[in-house]
Amino acid sequence: MIFRTALLIFFLLPSLWAQHVPVQEVILDNGMKVLLVVRKGSPNVAAGWVAKVGSVNEHSGVTGISHLFEHMMFKGTQTIGTKDIEEDLKINLELDRLKAELRKEEQALAARLRQGEITDVKDPKVRSPRHQQLLAEFDKLNARQRDLLVKNEFDKIYTSAGASGMNAATSEDFTIYFVNMPANKLELWFWMESDRLSNPVFREFYTEREVVAEERRLRSDSTPTGRFLVQFDAMFWKSSPYGWPVVGWPSDLDAITRQDASEYFGKYYAPNNLTACLVGDFSPDQAIALARKYFGRLQRGASEPEPVRTVEEPQYGEQRMSGEADTNPEVRVRYHTVADGHKDEPAFLILQALLNGRTGRLYKSLILEQQVANSAFASHDGMKYEGYFQFMGVAKTGKTPEQVEQAFYKEIEKLKTEIVPDRELQKVKNEQTASNFRRLESGFSLMEQLLMYDAYRGWRTINTDPPLLQAVTAADIQRIAAKYFAPDNRNVLVLNRKPSASAGGAK
Amino acid sequence: MRRIFLFAAWIGIALAADPIVKHPRELHFPPSEFIAPKAADYRHKLSNGATAFLVEDHEFPLIDISIMIHTGGYLEPAGMTGLAQLTGSQMRAGGTKSKTPETFDEDAAFLAAQIGSSVSDVSGEASLNCLSKDIDAGLALFVDMLRNPGFDESRLKLAKSQMLQAIGRRNDSTTSIEGREFQRLIRGDKHFTTRPVTKASLEAFSRQDLIGFHDRYYYPANFVLAVSGDFDTKQMLAKLEKALAAWPNRDTAIPDPPRSEFTPKPGVYVVNKKDVNQGRVQMGHLGVALSNPDHLALSVMNGILGGDGFTSHIMERVRSEEGLAYTARSSFGAGTYYEGIFFAGFQSKNASVAQATAIVIEEIKRAQDTKPSVDELATAVNRVVESFPLRFSSAGRKANQFAYDYYTRLPEDYWEKYRQRLNAVTPEEVQRVARKYLHPDGLVILAVGDAEAMLRGNPDRPQYSIAKLAGDRGVVRIPLPDPLTMVYPVE
């Protein structure tokens, strides 16, 4: 038995927190990482884990699988969610077989659509009798499985235990699962999470695909600008897998199989690709023992997941997109920049702070002085493999998005030609110092941040990044503006109001 | 550099020796005793009449002050909708009597102090968050804003133009259309909650009216403060006393927000928004007031029906079983001043709106026809009882909960008896309140989406249709109003 004592000081002075979040790290034999932060006095423990996989790891044909998979992780296991696991699994196989048959029918219809013989593959009138029969069989079998379910048992166990805020989120780069546990029920969390990580059953798979389609309609399709933003992303990224939405392309979502999900699970949800984190009032010794006991039962993956192969191709000329939507006239100007953790990223983050807010340059210039926009902001988005900087503004009534666009270029020119004054730089650094405390106040948010930092460059960067921001100089800002904000590297989205009976403006 | 810490304390060895149980119901947990903190222990009356709740927490060098002010949009003079909201935002944006907006903003930003002010329908709010070392400078700025707002003319003009542009977007998303029209169907269009900001109402008031509104409601006796963070209570009280000193109070009696006299008309209402591939549905009727002794039983009933996410009936059927929606839920409102609203709703592709609506109505009826199982009831009650400590889990949460309860005049022993009252709810009582307070035949049902597609329904599920749900009353179409005047076209 290996036995060693930590030399970490757990009771740091409050003021030291800003420079150093006191994390205890444990790596289990199977490669899973566990991060522990003890905060006395909280009646709850914020608990979560992250899988270092997201839509960037997908490929054509299965786009959206990371997010669909996240949904499937709530459907139960061999133990949770069914009254008869053998019958349940048998029905799953039969459902998969029927779905494969149905897929052939759908592919035949898609072929007819390509030839222009039909106009709508979802119209019941174009289905063959066999297609119709398969659908009926499928519905019947689905209903039979439903009788075997212990409905939403996974949620029920957590809910009755007083766990709250249970959810999960999928991004381009990671997938995170979290819940707030009453401090005395920490073992339940270990049981539940290690159970679904060792033997999940993706039941109600095809129904859940429909749920995800509704989620896409809700978040994107049926919002005023959602569809345009998805296509702007697709235009912006030429070769990078960041070009497809996290929710996936609709045609892929209609076709992903349970088999695809199983393969995905094997590849990306092995313990060596996972990090767990607890923040709250608990005994670290006990938490570590529980981690070994429960997460220790997971099998290490055969190999480490490969980093994404496809790199974004350089851009050789400006790209523009314009459209009409149910929105006030607005413009986005976006440049390719750097990935998370690049040595130029801190300067982009300081620049973003200089531009935003009530005392930021965009508000002072575009809104107060030039009176060309009614709102304007800038943001840097540094993702795992690539990044971008974006300016966004809504034109003031009577002004055009193109005028706002030109106002952005004027600000960019100023950044290239004039050095940022000391006091202005100090102001945003002061704000940064305060936010180093504010971001840690909520234990739940700290748990999420540690998991995200770990998914990108390791959790230690939560402590090493803030000094890098303080070190940014005015010369750095000038240099990055000149280097990255070049016309050939630019992408512009202009949206104007769609004329319609319901449009704004008095008649 | 990677450092690995390995631990194996005795407790770990003991735990590791036990096999993993087959089902979590076999796990046993140490008991947790949580006693709700008493607001009175943190309450202080300042000499000029303000009430303050102070909760210390020294983990981070930050101080947070939130103030609730007895005011609200419901107190606006007729025809001046938007005045209260702009008074709130312009207190923050318009500088002070001695500082231009630019100077005030720069001073606050350099201190890294977050200062805010707003007025909603039924309250005003102001807040300060700053590093504890800067509390004197931060508090001085904050109180200057509260007491001596400058209401700069050009900032007001800008804010009005932004608001005008924002109301121009009223019909852009189905979300905003749904919220507005459902509220109108339940409260009518004469109530303060449905009185719209229009181009004319924005033009009806000037800087002088903002000054007048501020003057009428902003004085210490009208404030409830929630103060939390890194301070010594005695010292902080002295600072607050000093900061609010010599600020004369007024003795105007401020009425409570009025209830609406409108009686909702049950039926099926449709708003057409072409080009969206998903319809949004909300259905409901009036709920109860918080003073109704049945409100806790109702909250349990609603949890089982549609309030508790995945363990509730509506979510289970509409989402998990049928895949018809991403969110599907219900809420049984217990209003602070008058009846809240009961509603259930979801978003589903246009073609399946009718089917999902029918399922939700079935579930509302089922809540009346069958009493919940002991198991279901336990889940719904435990959810609230077991997560109760979270409500008071930080100094900020405590202080703000106390201030809010004081502002809304919640009975002093409410939280003390809360869990005990919930635990006493029986299956019979859940069914009784469902029968008494749910009215499946009196529902106002609103659907916003592509009307033709919603009415056409799903050819694979011909048994469901919107027309069938509407019955003899027929489907009532609501047109989209002009967003700036809120005049509805007559069809």
**pLDDT per residue as tens digits for the range B94-121:** 999 999 999 999 999 999 999 999 999 9
Residue B356 contacts residue B324 (beta carbons within 8 Å): yes
Which of A460-474, B202-216, B227-241, B243-257 has the lowest average pLDDT? B243-257
Contacts of B383 in chain A (CB under 8 A): 159-160, 162, 164
Q: Quick check: A397 and B165 CB within 8 A? A: yes
How many angstroms separate the CA atoms of B149 and B333, rounded?
A: 36
Please provide the DSSP assignment of A262-303 as one string.
HHHHHHH-SGGGEEEEEEES--HHHHHHHHHHHGGGSPPPSS
The answer to whether B86 touches B210, Cβ cutoff 8 Å, is yes
- Annotated domain spans of chain B: 39-244, 267-477
Instruction: Could you please state the CATH topology (level 3) that the domain comprising A33-81+150-297 is classified under.
Output: Cytochrome Bc1 Complex; Chain A, domain 1 (3.30.830)
Q: Does B59 touch chain A (CB under 8 A)?
A: yes
How far, in Å, CA of A486 to CA of A470, rounded? Answer: 26
Q: Do B39-244 and B267-477 show the same overall fold?
A: yes
| Model pLDDT for residues B441-453, shown as the tens digit of each residue | 999 999 999 999 9
Grouping H, G, I as helix, E, B as strand and the rest as coil, residue A394 is strand
Q: What pLDDT is attached to residue B491?
A: 66
Q: What is the DSSP string of A397-437?
A: TT--HHHHHHHHHHHHHHHHHSPPPHHHHHHHHHHHHHHHH
Q: Do A222 and B161 touch (CB under 8 A)?
A: no
Any chain B CB within 8 A of the CB of A27?
yes
What pLDDT, on a 0 to 100 scale, did the predictor assign at position B16? 56
pLDDT score recorded for residue B32: 80
Q: Give the gap in angstroms from C-alpha B208 to the nearest C-alpha of chain A.
A: 22
Q: Which of B8, B323, B460 sits opposite A3 (nearest CB)?
A: B8
Residues in chain B with CB shorter than 8 Å from the CB of A215 are: 326
Residue B378 structure tokens: 């336990």
Chain A residues 95-154 with a CB less than 8 Å from chain B: 123-124, 135, 146, 151-152
A395: nearest Cα among A466, A328, A336: A328
- Mean pLDDT computed over A468-488: 97
Q: Looking at residue B490, what is its pLDDT?
A: 86
Looking at residue A18, its pLDDT comes to 53
Whether B263 shows a pLDDT value over 60: the answer reads yes
Q: Specify the pTM.
A: 0.93
Contact call for B386 and A162, based on CB within 8 A: yes
Pairing between β-strand A330-336 and β-strand A490-497 as defined by DSSP bridges: antiparallel
**Quick check: A79 contacting B, CB < 8 Å?**
yes
Burial A100-119 (b: 16+ CB within 10 A, else e): ebbeebbeebeeeeeeeeee
pLDDT class of A10 with cuts at 50, 70, 90? very low
pLDDT confidence of residue B217: 97
- What would the mean pLDDT of B457-473 be, rounded to a whole number? 95
Find the closest chain B residue to A371 by CA distance.
Answer: B158
Of residues A136 and B6, more confidence is placed in: A136
Average pLDDT over residues B423-450: 98
Q: Say which residues have a Cβ less than 8 Å from residue A333's Cβ, sequence separation at least 6.
A: A390, A391, A392, A405, A408, A490, A491, A492
Asked if B319 contacts B352 with a C-beta cutoff of 8 angstroms, the reply is: no
Amino acid B3: pLDDT: 32
Mind telling me how many Å the CA of A430 is from chain B's nearest CA? 6
Residue B2 has pLDDT above 80, yes or no: no
Residue A352 has pLDDT above 80, yes or no: yes
Looking at the domain B39-244, which fold is it? Cytochrome Bc1 Complex; Chain A, domain 1 (3.30.830)
What residues does each domain of chain A span? Answer: 33-81+150-297, 319-497
Share of residues in chain A with pLDDT > 70 (%): 95
Type of residue at B132: S
d(C-alpha A105, C-alpha A122), whole Å: 11
Residues composing chain A: 507
In 3D, which of B353, B382, B190, B180 has the Cα closest to residue B276? B353
Contacts of B4 in chain A (CB under 8 A): 25-27
Instruction: Measure the CA–CA gap between B355 and B469, rounded to whole angstroms.
Output: 10
Averaged pLDDT, B366-386: 95
Residue B173 corresponds to which tokens in the numbers above? 């998303």
Mean pLDDT of chain B: 94
Please report, to the nearest 10 degrees, the dihedral formed by the alpha carbons of residues B347, B353, B356, B359 taken in order. 140
Q: Is the ipTM of this complex over 0.85?
A: yes
Q: Please state the φ and ψ torsions of residue A438, each to the nearest 5 degrees.
A: -55, -40
CB contacts < 8 A (A, B):
266
B423-435 burial, b for 16+ CB within 10 Å, e for fewer? eebebebbbbbbe
Residue A484 one-letter amino acid: Y
Interface check A222 vs B, CB under 8 A: yes
**Per-chain mean pLDDT for chain A:** 93
Residue A379 class from Cβ within 10 Å (0-12 exposed, 13-18 middle, 19+ buried)?
middle
Does residue A506 carry a pLDDT above 50? no
Establish if B23 touches chain A: CB-CB under 8 angstroms.
yes
Is 50 exceeded by the pLDDT of residue B307? yes
Strands A24-27 vs A490-497: parallel, antiparallel or unpaired: unpaired
Any long-range contacts for A397-401 (C-beta under 8 Å, 24+ apart)? A397/B161, A397/B164, A397/B165, A397/B168, A399/A329, A399/A371, A399/A372, A399/A373, A400/A329, A401/A329, A401/A330, A401/A331, A401/A494, A401/A495, A401/A496
Between CA A158 and CA A180 the distance in angstroms is: 10
Residue B13 has pLDDT above 60, yes or no: no
Among positive and negative, which fits the CA dihedral A341, A345, A346, A350?
negative
Q: What is the mean pLDDT of residues B424-437?
A: 98
| In the predicted structure, residue B306 carries a pLDDT above the cut 90 | yes
Residue A180 bridge partners (DSSP)? A46, A164
Residue in the block written with tokens 């709740």: B53
Q: Enumerate residues 6+ apart whose C-beta is below 8 A from A340.
A: A382, A383, A384, A387, A456, A457
Could you say which of 1.10.260.40, 1.20.1290.10, 3.30.830.10, 3.40.50.450 is the CATH number of the domain covering A319-497? Answer: 3.30.830.10
Q: What is the pLDDT of residue A7?
A: 31
State how beta strands B223-229 and B51-56 pair: parallel
**By the 8 A CB rule, do B58 and B230 touch?**
yes
Whether the predicted pLDDT of A442 surpasses 50: yes
Query: Within an 8 Å CB–CB cutoff, is residue B252 touching chain A?
Result: no
Helices A186-198, A284-294: inter-axial angle, 10-degree rounding: 20
Q: Which of A180, A203, A152, A170 is nearest to A64 (CA)?
A: A170
Q: Average pLDDT of B399-423?
A: 96
A43 confidence band (pLDDT: 50, 70, 90): confident
pLDDT at B409 over 90: yes
Pick the CATH number of B267-477 from 3.10.20.30, 3.40.50.720, 3.30.70.2080, 3.30.830.10: 3.30.830.10
Q: Which tokens is A322 given?
A: 């314009």
More confident residue, A224 or A41: A224
Identify from B58, B311, B317 which residue to disrupt to test chain A contact, counting A C-beta atoms within 10 A and taking the largest count: B311
Task: Give yes or no for A284 touching B (CB within 8 A).
Answer: yes
Q: What is the pLDDT of residue A226?
A: 96
A215 touches chain B (CB under 8 A): yes
State residue B430's pLDDT score: 98
- Tell me which DSSP letter residue B258 carries: P
Q: How far out from the chain centre does Cα B388 lie?
A: 18
Whether residue B62 is predicted with pLDDT greater than 60 in this model: the reply is yes
As a whole number of angstroms, the distance between CA B24 and CA B16 comes to 16
Q: Give the mutation candidate from A207, A358, A362, A365 for the B interface (greatest B CB count, under 10 A).
A: A358
Q: What is the band of A292 on the pLDDT scale with cuts at 50, 70, 90?
A: very high
DSSP, collapsed to helix, strand or coil, labels residue B70 as coil
Radius of gyration of chain A (CA): 26
Please answer whether residues A466 and A20 qualify as being in contact, where contact means their C-beta atoms are separated by less than 8 angstroms. no
* Interface mutation target, options A68, A156, A160, A404, chain B, most CBs of B under 10 Å: A160
The arithmetic mean of pLDDT across residues B341-365, rounded, is 98
DSSP A446-484: HHHHHHHHHHHT-TTHHHHHHHHHHT--HHHHHHHHHHH
Same fold, A33-81+150-297 and A319-497: yes
Whether B321 and B351 have beta carbons less than 8 Å apart is answered as: no
